[in-house]
Amino acid sequence: MNRIAAIAWLLCLCGGFAAIGHADEGMWTFDNLPLKEMQSQYQFTPSADWLAHVQHAALRSKDGCSAAFVSADGLVITNQHCIGECLASISTPKRDYTLDGFYAYTRDQELRCPQMEMEQLTDTHDVTAEVSKSLKGLSGDDYVDAFRSISSRLEQGCADGDTRRWSCEVVDLYHGGRYVLYKYRRYQDLRLVFTPEYAVAAFGGDPDNFNFPRYSLDVALLRAYDRDQPVKPEYLTLSTQAPREGELVFAAGNPGTSARGRTLAELTGLRDDDLTPALVYYSELRGLLEEYAHEGPDQRRMAYANLGEVDNLIKAHQGQLEALQDQAQLERKAADEKALHDWVMADPARRAEYGDPWSAIAAAEQRQHMLITRYRMLEQGWGFESRLFDYARLLVRGVEERDKANGRRLPEYRDANLPQVEQALFAETPVSADYEELMLGWSLSKLRETLGADDPLVRKLLGRDSPAQVARTAVDGTRLDSASYRKRMWSDVDFMEVSNDPLIVMAAKVDKDARAVRKQYEQEVLSVVRTQSEIIARARFARDGTGLYPDATFTLRLSYGQVQGWSEDDRKVPAFTDFGGLYGRATGSAPFALPPRWLAAEAQLPPATHLDFATTNDIVGGSSGSPVIDRDGKLVGLVFDGNIHSLGGDFWYDGGENRAVAVDDQALLMALRKVYGMTALADELVNGHL
Amino acid sequence: MNRIAAIAWLLCLCGGFAAIGHADEGMWTFDNLPLKEMQSQYQFTPSADWLAHVQHAALRSKDGCSAAFVSADGLVITNQHCIGECLASISTPKRDYTLDGFYAYTRDQELRCPQMEMEQLTDTHDVTAEVSKSLKGLSGDDYVDAFRSISSRLEQGCADGDTRRWSCEVVDLYHGGRYVLYKYRRYQDLRLVFTPEYAVAAFGGDPDNFNFPRYSLDVALLRAYDRDQPVKPEYLTLSTQAPREGELVFAAGNPGTSARGRTLAELTGLRDDDLTPALVYYSELRGLLEEYAHEGPDQRRMAYANLGEVDNLIKAHQGQLEALQDQAQLERKAADEKALHDWVMADPARRAEYGDPWSAIAAAEQRQHMLITRYRMLEQGWGFESRLFDYARLLVRGVEERDKANGRRLPEYRDANLPQVEQALFAETPVSADYEELMLGWSLSKLRETLGADDPLVRKLLGRDSPAQVARTAVDGTRLDSASYRKRMWSDVDFMEVSNDPLIVMAAKVDKDARAVRKQYEQEVLSVVRTQSEIIARARFARDGTGLYPDATFTLRLSYGQVQGWSEDDRKVPAFTDFGGLYGRATGSAPFALPPRWLAAEAQLPPATHLDFATTNDIVGGSSGSPVIDRDGKLVGLVFDGNIHSLGGDFWYDGGENRAVAVDDQALLMALRKVYGMTALADELVNGHL
């Protein structure tokens, strides 16, 4: 359902791990921290209690962000940009919460975010032995099936029948170096408490995104409920002190994916076959939405609810692409790869054990080049950018998949994941027919463009009509905008199977081809890269030993670093921005325009109070919403971005330039009191309870 | 004024030349044809008369296309897609000639294309000695200035004071291997006679562009006038026979640029710093225009007048980018480069003579990486996509440049080029304020995005306003939409200098920075690449001797080849399409919808009559509109495209797959008679006169 998640998945399946090359480098699992380095550099070693407390307060959002509990009454802090889907779905033609912000002065004013879910990591359990045994000697389809089957069995046992409460996931760390079963407590009733105006949350907009100095209050507060009562979690208390330059800080969050262990062939494939086409695709979509926003207030609302994500994707891809065009870094990578390759080849026993995984991966990348366009169009949603179509596909596949044994299903339809499918399907999310038509029509035209007008599937889908006509007919004729209708289809398979709903028909037409290319892609590319990466990982372990951190896997990690600016050419970029700078940068025009409330409050806000700050913490996408914690385990800020150099962080960490960017929590408190008059909420944050 | 031309220029200044690797390879100058190869492969050697006749009938359009005279009464044939600017400027809210086509049944119905110009090559003269002498020992600024000055002097002498009638140009062939003075007869009064509906000229639209089989009648006929009388030129007569498979055919046209002599560093730079950013930029513009087209009939007209060009740019860039991602080809290139490098280094005398031009070019490419964004935004028009702004810049620079000695001016303001500037400035071209606002606002937002909101020039231009506001104020307040106002400004410098026209003010604000980055780019990138490429060219000459063709320079070339399909994986692509195929492919929806006239005429058009055909001729962009000529010197077709593999032709020619795509002239005659009832025009084409 979520394009970012879909892309993250595309980027993430390869990987590996990396040796520490720089101070502050690393996205560490809680059980394997570089305690000696931390102690020697910062004279601090976190205690077991410190770690347990942080772990239990930290949260992961299903939308690809991080978050944390910040009060005994279930208050959750994350970024405004992490709740875009929620804001769009609770907004109405009359109330645009994305633009205007949201303010619950009392608990009964809190509004539920329909599809939001948070997960709290309660337990991890090493299952390397079981998984490795199941996979031994397998490859291709058998390997994928066996992994699915053992994961599914382990996950089901872990959730113990209560998949509404628990969610479990076998995570592959160090590429087959370790398999770990992660157990999460699920929170599916999250209600919005506060988020500022878009103009403040995203002050500076796309121009300032991935930049610093930065002046955004990119914060949202939600409250987690269980059976209509606020939950009572472990939580982080707010520090009363603003962080100082050079201070040691931690970020506890869920970095999504990184590729520090990838081979050169993978990085080249990523650059040419993933990043570049995605940039082109999203740039066209951006232009489309920018202009669509001018066509009326509803169009404006829909466009802006989605443009932020698109802008962000573009900039992230751009930054990564630029990193992968850096010949010097690529050569360093090549030298590192060659050294390991030579080490393997230098010894007949090693050669026999490891073979030549680099060539095998390069061949898989060639296959990827052939398959990826079709895979992306049919299976990754690029040809069908429509929420209604997503419903149709979930329904059509749901019928087929639920008929199979659990372990043989596509992962997203395994029993453990069905609650999430149902939540997506049954949520009462309003749908804009006009926007659906625009997006489906446009993406069908991309489908035709990339696969060609003569492609049999394209002919089957479009017949003699234009993409826009096909989209109009389908969106006009469907009843999938009704949650109850979808519910009936999901529960009454016969009802669905006789349906001639045009989107169900469309999804059914695509399904065989989409499944076929997915299977091919998984077998010929992903599983090859996966098994061969394991071999490289084993070789590296054998040569270098442990003391490494695994590539990011959208699971909980701790990074450490310090509050610090950096130097750019001859320019020194400071570590902090403040309210004075915000007002200095404000113009009357978006994205640098401040809302009236903020203009009125200028005299109340001390100019020297810090607003945002930069740190050397090693973060990547997915870390948005990570609490920034001081050595006392107190919250001092909230990660919401990285600078432009941090985008190369997917491939390597450069301590000289790579910076995380966070909101200072003192700025949040000040704004709640002086701008929004939300004193009770500010008190709850300071006191830790209502 | 013309974005394609601007980009062509960007791509073209490097280059070199290439050895023949394949039969049919080469874009040959008329004085250095591979006569032996032609004779041995096709048993044909063109006579001096044959060559002179073809040269005199061939034309070059200032818009970046090729064309030819096809009647004694000045009839000119080119592609419909080459006259987009004309169609947009003569269309009105009531008559959309792009969509509906244009049909002059009598001479008094012909309509003048305001800015169109055609040039006929009358003479070439080797000036290598003079130019080399002037450049000897110079580099950097001095080199550029000296080249400008000697070119300007030679060109002025050649035009002999009559720059309205003659246009002269010093062309650098083989990168300093030869300098040749080209003399053209100018035709500035071109009147539109016929072009079909857009739906027929661009049947299959963007999906079919750069593809084959293809079913387009991409043709336009114009008539050249001099003092209100049709000119009486040498011309090509139409063959009465349709071309057969395997038949020898020539294409006489002006391939724009190619880069077959470029170094690996240049190709990598082209890929990462030129093609990729351009793809991203134009993709966003494409999305914007696609949606803008929905906002009303005027918007639709303006969007479609420009979308074709944007789509085409995107596909061309895409094809080139894919070629430059081809690791095998790049390795072949690297090996070829290394061999020449090693040959130089193997001998101390050679090492002393040639040095290491490859490293020097690689360093210049690094500089390009730093400079190109600013250069493109400020100087190449990316930050100011507006016809009105283009006028303002021409006026502002015109004042400054005309004050200087001719040889010290920017090339576009030298005396020889002033008539073209004036033609552009004084043409009565209608301007859509709404469209200008859209484009200027959007491109200013790109300017801010790429240079950053804190860039001093960006601050100076935007102040506290948004890009859209700045564009609105400027377009609302300017009077540059009036040709007479522009004329007054051009001729009365005092009047202009006191002007507070907002676009003049904007252009003046930008000019210093734009000139500065242009100068830096020319000195640190272009002139280094140029002089170092010369050295490589000399080394290659020394090792391999002559018998080579120069890279394309948008000057007249002859290519030879045969009518032929190709094999794609297991699929055989035939050499021809026919009317039957056209009707079979037609649906009711754009871009596969046929206009009513064509639907009505179906029974009149024999299904087996050829419509388009593919040939092995070696062509690149700029060859559009090239006449396809048989061994008798008769016209058998008109090049309008290449297949997707032809896009790699900028870097290498692959005879197995690279194909030119042409309209069969028999299809044109048939359509004129049976669909449009333009019997007199068809007769003129067949008889060669009115």
The nearest alpha carbon in chain A to B269 belongs to: A325
3-state SS assignment for residue A355: coil
**Burial grade of A391 (CB within 10 A; 0-12, 13-18, 19 or more):** buried
Considering CB atoms only, which of B281, B287, B325 is closest to A288?
B287
Please give the pLDDT value at position A570: 66
Task: Tell me: pLDDT of A95 over 80.
Answer: yes
CA distance linking residue A617 with residue A628, whole number of Å: 9
CA distance linking residue A127 with residue A138, whole number of Å: 18
Amino acid at B360: A
The nearest alpha carbon in chain A to B449 belongs to: A207
Task: Tell me: pLDDT of B20 over 50.
Answer: no
**Between residues B287 and B587, the one the model is more confident about:** B287
Considering CB atoms only, which of B318, B325, B453 is closest to A208?
B453
As a residue count, chain A comes to 690
Q: What are phi and psi of A337, to 5 degrees?
A: -65, -45
Q: What is the 3-state secondary structure (H, E, C) of B117-132?
A: CEEEEEEEEECHHHHH
Is the backbone of residue A497 left (phi > 0), alpha (psi -120 to 50) or beta?
A: alpha
Please give the pLDDT value at position B266: 95
In the structure encoding, which two tokens stand for residue B355, read together? 């040095």
Q: What contacts B90, CB < 8 A, 6 or more positions away?
A: B97, B102, B111, B112, B113, B114, B192
- How many Cβ pairs within 8 Å bridge chains A and B? 110
User: Half-sphere exposure of residue B177, counting CA atoms within 13 Å on the CB side?
Assistant: 23
Which single residue is written with the structure tokens 């082209």?
B270
The nearest alpha carbon in chain B to A463 belongs to: B587
Please give the pLDDT value at position B571: 78
CA distance linking residue B593 with residue A597, whole number of Å: 55
The nearest alpha carbon in chain B to A326 belongs to: B272
CA-wise closest residue to A29 among A132, A148, A171: A171
pLDDT tens, residue by residue, B207-247: 888 889 999 999 999 999 999 999 999 999 999 888 999 99
CA-wise closest residue to A434 among A314, A285, A289, A311: A289
Substitution target in B206, B216, B273, B288 with the highest count of A β-carbons within 10 Å is: B288
State whether A280 and B280 contact (CB < 8 Å).
yes
pLDDT over 70 percentage in chain A = 96
Please give the pLDDT value at position B261: 84
CA distance linking residue A152 with residue A129, whole number of Å: 16
Q: Which helix (H) or strand (E) holds A136?
A: none
Task: Tell me: pLDDT of A546 over 70.
Answer: no
Q: What is the ipTM of this complex?
A: 0.79
CA distance linking residue A176 with residue A178, whole number of Å: 5
The nearest alpha carbon in chain B to A588 belongs to: B464
* Contact yes or no for B87/B231 (Cβ under 8 A): no
State whether A589 and B465 contact (CB < 8 Å).
yes
Residues of chain A found within 8 Å of residue B318, distances taken between Cβ atoms: 280
Task: Tell me: pLDDT of B17 over 90.
Answer: no
Task: Tell me: pLDDT of A565 over 90.
Answer: yes
CA distance linking residue B682 with residue B690, whole number of Å: 10
pLDDT over 70 percentage in chain B = 96
Q: What contacts A643, CB < 8 A, 6 or more positions away?
A: A210, A211, A212, A566, A614, A657, A658, A659, A661
CA distance linking residue A73 with residue B576, whole number of Å: 75
What average pLDDT does range A55-77 have in this prediction?
A: 96
CA distance linking residue B568 with residue B547, whole number of Å: 32
pTM of the model: 0.80
Q: What is the 3-state secondary structure (H, E, C) of B500-537?
A: CCHHHHHHHHHHHHHHHHHHHHHHHHHHHHHHHHHHHH
DSSP B316-365: HHHHHHHHHT-HHHHHHHHHHHHHHHHHHHTSHHHHHHH--HHHHHHHHH
- Which sign, positive or negative, has the C-alpha torsion A493, A494, A498, A500? negative
Please give the pLDDT value at position B15: 29
State whether B207 and A448 contact (CB < 8 Å).
yes
pLDDT tens, residue by residue, A150-200: 999 999 999 888 989 999 999 988 877 789 999 999 999 999 999 999 999
In the structure encoding, which two tokens stand for residue A93, read together? 């033609």
In the structure encoding, which two tokens stand for residue B225, read together? 């006038």
**Between residues A648 and A345, the one the model is more confident about:** A345
State whether B211 and A464 contact (CB < 8 Å).
no
Residues of chain A found within 8 Å of residue B592, distances taken between Cβ atoms: 453, 464
* Contact yes or no for A53/A586 (Cβ under 8 A): no
Task: Tell me: pLDDT of B18 over 50.
Answer: no
**Burial grade of A346 (CB within 10 A; 0-12, 13-18, 19 or more):** exposed
In the structure encoding, which two tokens stand for residue B490, read together? 């051009």
What average pLDDT does range B349-366 have in this prediction?
A: 96
Substitution target in B291, B294, B329, B461 with the highest count of A β-carbons within 10 Å is: B291
CA distance linking residue B305 with residue B299, whole number of Å: 10
Torsion angle of alpha carbons B516, B519, B525, B526, nearest 10°? 150
Task: Tell me: pLDDT of B21 over 80.
Answer: no
CA distance linking residue B186 with residue B117, whole number of Å: 7
Strands B102-103 and B75-78: unpaired
State whether A453 and B592 contact (CB < 8 Å).
yes
CA distance linking residue B2 with residue B5, whole number of Å: 5
pLDDT tens, residue by residue, A227-262: 999 999 999 999 988 899 999 999 999 999 888 888
CA distance linking residue A269 with residue B277, whole number of Å: 18
State whether B587 and A279 contact (CB < 8 Å).
no
Amino acid at B78: T
Please give the pLDDT value at position B22: 63
What average pLDDT does range B347-356 have in this prediction?
A: 96
B364-367 contact pairs (CB < 8 A, 24+): B364/B524, B364/B525, B364/B528, B364/B529, B364/B532, B365/B265, B365/B266, B365/B268, B365/B269, B365/B273, B365/B525, B365/B529, B367/B524, B367/B525, B367/B528
CA-to-CA separations, A595 to A201, A219, A294, A589, A591, in angstroms, rounded = 11, 16, 21, 10, 11
pLDDT tens, residue by residue, B413-435: 988 889 989 999 998 888 999 99
**Between residues B543 and B674, the one the model is more confident about:** B674
In the structure encoding, which two tokens stand for residue B291, read together? 């949606």
CA distance linking residue B380 with residue A141, whole number of Å: 52
Task: Tell me: pLDDT of B10 over 60.
Answer: no
In the structure encoding, which two tokens stand for residue A163, read together? 């998949």
DSSP bridge pairs for A111: A192
State whether A588 and B465 contact (CB < 8 Å).
yes
CA-to-CA separations, A612 to A99, A148, A319, A581, B681, in angstroms, rounded = 21, 43, 21, 10, 72
Residues of chain B found within 8 Å of residue A449, distances taken between Cβ atoms: 206-207
* Contact yes or no for B619/B255 (Cβ under 8 A): yes
- Mean pLDDT over the full length of chain A: 91
- Mean pLDDT over the full length of chain B: 91
Residues of chain B found within 8 Å of residue A327, distances taken between Cβ atoms: 268
Q: What contacts B102, CB < 8 A, 6 or more positions away?
A: B87, B90, B111, B192, B193, B194, B195
CA-wise closest residue to A118 among A168, A176, A189, A49: A189
Q: Which helix (H) or strand (E) holds A367?
A: helix A357-378
Substitution target in A203, A209, A272 with the highest count of B β-carbons within 10 Å is: A272
Residue A22 confidence class, pLDDT cut points 50, 70, 90: low
In the structure encoding, which two tokens stand for residue A531, read together? 């098994």
State whether B587 and A284 contact (CB < 8 Å).
no
Largest Cα–Cα distance of chain A, in whole Å?
Answer: 75
Substitution target in A283, A444, A454 with the highest count of B β-carbons within 10 Å is: A283
pLDDT tens, residue by residue, B48-77: 999 999 999 999 998 899 999 999 999 999
CA distance linking residue A282 with residue A315, whole number of Å: 10
Residues of chain B found within 8 Å of residue A456, distances taken between Cβ atoms: none
Amino acid at B153: R
Amino acid at A349: A
Residues of chain B found within 8 Å of residue A464, distances taken between Cβ atoms: 587-589, 592
Is the backbone of residue A452 left (phi > 0), alpha (psi -120 to 50) or beta?
A: left
* Contact yes or no for B199/B594 (Cβ under 8 A): yes
In the structure encoding, which two tokens stand for residue B455, read together? 């860039």
Residues of chain A found within 8 Å of residue B466, distances taken between Cβ atoms: 589-590
For residue B213, is the peptide bond before it cis, meaning its omega torsion is within 30 degrees of 0? Answer: yes
pLDDT tens, residue by residue, A269-310: 999 999 999 999 999 999 999 999 999 999 998 998 898 889
State whether B288 and A285 contact (CB < 8 Å).
no
Cα B250 versus chain centre, distance: 20
State whether B589 and A469 contact (CB < 8 Å).
yes
Residues of chain B found within 8 Å of residue A289, distances taken between Cβ atoms: 287, 291
Range name among A42-46, A101-105, B494-498 with the lowest pLDDT average: B494-498
Task: Tell me: pLDDT of A519 over 80.
Answer: yes
Considering CB atoms only, which of B206, B291, B327 is closest to A292?
B291
Distance from CA of A277 to the nearest CA of B (A): 9
CA distance linking residue B373 with residue A322, whole number of Å: 13
State whether B207 and A449 contact (CB < 8 Å).
yes
Residue A217 confidence class, pLDDT cut points 50, 70, 90: very high
State whether A290 and B442 contact (CB < 8 Å).
yes
What average pLDDT does range A324-328 have in this prediction?
A: 87
